[in-house]
Amino acid sequence: EAGVVQSPRYKIIEKKQPVAFWCNPISGHNTLYWYLQNLGQGPELLIRYENEEAVDDSQLPKDRFSAERLKGVDSTLKIQPAELGDSAVYLCASSPAGSSYNEQFFGPGTRLTVL
Amino acid sequence: DAKTTQPNSMESNEEEPVHLPCNHSTISGTDYIHWYRQLPSQGPEYVIHGLTSNVNNRMASLAIAEDRKSSTLILHRATLRDAAVYYCILRSPSIAGTALIFGKGTTLSVSS
């Protein structure tokens, strides 16, 4: 079974440029998460989807970040414009519905460097 | 979610057992104890979870104190591939589906 797929794995951009990350969750997983991981820290949630609905986006900086999951499958996270402080790893995870202990499956992440 | 406390780092030699501690003195009666680990340049991966009884799986064992205020993840024979950051996370079934709340975890180094 294929795991969570993310692309690109690495991205280098100049500040003020836009950037987008793509995630394809494990087939059949209804819940999709985007996490941000700064160097030396644990991941922190940016947004959570249940199917195509964003059910928790309280930590998403909405002035520059946006996300979508139009058909309830794959998802895109966008930053426009990027700032130096956005340099981090962006992780996507998915989880099946109805799991009482809610194991989450993570992709390898996209490492963003903003110059 | 209740808070957990883990040592910043630990060291081990290859093929020796490793005991990774986690304190969670404010754990509630329904909180499950989950462990995830993150290998270098990869996303976190699930390791094991438990409620009250000790648990074993192919990756590790989880020993839970009788009062549930602490737990220990046990790697029976560490390999170089076990070098990772290990996170201890408490989860309530009532919030199934919500985000995992990670601390800084314990960075495990394994030497040959």
pLDDT tens-digit readout, B3-14: 899 999 999 999
Residue A87 Cα, gap to closest chain B Cα (Å): 15
What's the whole-number average pLDDT of chain B? 93
Residue A32 Cα, gap to closest chain B Cα (Å): 9
Report CB contact under 8 Å: B43, A107: yes
What's the whole-number average pLDDT of chain A? 94
Q: What is the 3-state secondary structure (H, E, C) of chain B?
A: CCCCECCCEEEEECCCCEEEEEECCCCCCCCEEEEEEECCCCCCEEEEEECCCCEECCCCEEEECCCCCEEEEEECCCCHHHCEEEEEEEECHHHCCCCCCCCCCEEEEEEC
Partner residue facing B44 (CB), from A40, A48, A106? A106
Pick among B100, B101, B102 to test the A interface (most A CBs inside 10 A): B100
pLDDT tens-digit readout, A72-91: 899 999 999 999 999 999 99
If you measure CA to CA, which chain A residue comes closest to B90? A101
Looking at the complex, does the CB of residue A38 fall below 8 Å from at least one CB of chain B? no
pLDDT for residue A98 is more than 80: no
Report CB contact under 8 Å: B98, A56: yes
**pLDDT given for residue B72 in this prediction:** 98
Report CB contact under 8 Å: B44, A43: yes
